[in-house]
Structure 1
Amino acid sequence: MGTPGQAWGPAEQAQWRARQVRQRSYASDVLAVVEGLRTRFDVSRYGEVAYGDDRYPVHAIRPRQWVAGLPTVLVTGGVHGYETSGVLGALRFVDVHGERYAGRVNWVVAPCVSPWGWERIQRWNHDAIDPNRSFRPGTTVQESAALMALVAPLRGQFAAHIDLHETTDTDESEYRPALAARDGKAFQPGTIPDGFYLVDDTENLQPAFQQAVLQAVAAVTHIAPADDRQQIIGSPVLAPGIIAYPLQALGLCASVTGARYTTTTEVYPDSARTTPEECTAAQVAAVCAVMEFVLR
């Protein structure tokens, strides 16, 4: 799409948008589940993502018992709308484990940050922008700005933040070529790792925390090995299954709280060695491991 070597303009963005077809329902898949949790938890609307006639309320879920002085943990899913197990894992954590940690941890779950992307199984938002490169002061990206506004009153209270993601085959076959075309750059092929891995913060490495999360997940699904260059998706492997990015510099979601302990999960749902259920269970195991770590 577009002219090789030239970044997209409004015409190319509109052409790309016209190809995005609604494939699933945010109202049925997410909002209905959130409403079902309202009888046991505090559910609040923290914003709305609106594109034309498409309007999506976004919600946060918390325990009804909020205790001053307890560690606070943020759980985010669906920053990339096509990464299914992150949304399902966040919702399942609340349903199955939320009450167990209530009164022990002040947890906040934003289960689907990018509802337009969820419905279209798309990484980008309506404007062909990646929300997970847009968590910066003054951002105009609706999905990112709404979450940052939710977090702002609690900054300084967070002990940890876990952001639930997937790495899929379409990252290589669809998203990365589209990213290169959008930005007028040449596409550089890469490889997709087979298995689960974590992304730490290069400016705030917390190896013991990452290992605790990875150990819990390893009981559920397999961990991604390094490639022949000792890398995962082009980044050096710091320890088996762990790489690091400069979170704040890249505008990544995991930077929004300023917490000491942050991690981004990456599940590989296209592996022949896993199932959709196993991917969701791995996300839940990772969230529970974060809760247990801050309690220690």
Structure 2
Amino acid sequence: MTTAFYPIGTPGTPWGDTERDTWRRQRTGLRSYTEDVLPRIESLSDRFDVSAYGALDYNGETYTLYAVRSLNWNPALPVALVTGGVHGYETSGVMGALQFLETEAARYAGRINLLVAPCVSPWGYERINRWNYDAIDPNRNFRPDGPARESTALIELVAPLRGQFLMHIDLHETTDSDESEFRPALAARDGKDFIPDTVPDGFYLVDDSEHPQPEFQQAIIAAVARVTHIAPPDASGHIIGCPVVAHGVIEYPVATYAMCTGITGAPYTTTTEVYPDSPTASPKECNDAQVAAVCAAIDYVLVQG
């Protein structure tokens, strides 16, 4: 095992309040939720039902969380949930969700009810960070009694609709900074050794190992392959330490890990992972890949019923 140096804390000792405060002070704003995201959400209000579903207050710094719904909501139709920005630093998750709403969502009117939360973690978005203000990963804390308000607010949003969801797609990225910053920070925070891994070069999906839907995943992979390249397995047949179960697909027990895609009970779920640091990938390509994934997912479930 390799113990990586991280400039906060003592190797082998989990962080306490002092270390968390130090980490927090070093996280400065690098972009603006108010300027980048909110105007695009507000511009959708003539075509969709835009409403607040929660608020965050971090030492006086406040963020309103917004959801976008189909304007003519039909209780007789199933629901598709699209989430972005659960990890705020994963830019195409946010921008892909917004681009889908702006360019493709209208063609599903009257066919399925859409519920979209474009930026679940705005504090992390502004600081280009995986964690929230409390150095907590929202995507390991989707529990009703969990410590991440980003996660519990989304749970409260979807709770009245449980039983109506047909699918949920959660838009993410895997970046080079996962290996250079976020996994070393995680090891330091938890007082553990950092074991290096390889960043996968390309797009992949995370299915639910407890309720796998392999044909659903492959329909998405086929659509995204027309936009960007699919990640191959490493030399041991893994992606981020997990066995590759099909082309571009790995599995996690999402409920056990308290991941976002476990909150709806939908029969079809997936987590996308775009690779924005590829020398051949542009921000536009990453956003387009997310949109292609969302459309392919909805198209598939509409056929399946």
Q: TM-score, normalised by structure 2?
A: 0.96
Question: Deviation string for 1:126-154 (max 9, x for gaps)?
Answer: 00000000001311311001000000000
Match of 2:198 in 1: 191
2:12 equivalent among 2, 5, 24: 5
Q: Distance in 2 between matches of 1:290 and 1:69?
A: 20
Match of 2:4 in 1: none
Match of 2:5 in 1: none
2:247 equivalent among 227, 240, 260: 240
Unaligned 5+ runs, structure 1: none
**Deviation (angstroms), 1:66:** 1.0
**Deviation (angstroms), 1:253:** 0.4
Number of equivalent positions: 296
**Deviation (angstroms), 1:217:** 0.5
- AA of the residue aligned to 2:175: T
Q: Which runs of 4+ in 1 moved over 3 A?
A: none
- Secondary structure in 1 matching 2:256: helix
- Secondary structure in 2 matching 1:162: strand
- AA of the residue aligned to 1:70: L
CA contact (8 A) 1:90 1:111 kept: yes
- AA of the residue aligned to 1:246: P
Match of 2:217 in 1: 210
**Deviation (angstroms), 1:69:** 2.2
Question: Deviation string for 1:245-283 (max 9, x for gaps)?
Answer: 000000100101010000000000000121110000000
Match of 1:139 in 2: 146
CA contact (8 A) 2:55 2:64 kept: yes
Question: Deviation string for 1:78-109 (max 9, x for gaps)?
Answer: 00000000000000101111111111110100
**Deviation (angstroms), 1:49:** 1.3
- AA of the residue aligned to 1:212: A
Match of 2:94 in 1: 87
Q: Distance in 2 between matches of 1:72 and 1:13?
A: 39
Moved more, 94-103 or 227-236: 94-103
Unaligned 5+ runs, structure 2: 1-7
CA contact (8 A) 2:218 2:247 kept: no
- AA of the residue aligned to 2:284: E
- Secondary structure in 1 matching 2:88: coil
Identity of aligned residues (%): 62
Match of 1:225 in 2: 232
2:279 equivalent among 272, 279, 284: 272
CA contact (8 A) 2:205 2:271 kept: yes
- AA of the residue aligned to 1:7: P
Match of 1:55 in 2: 62
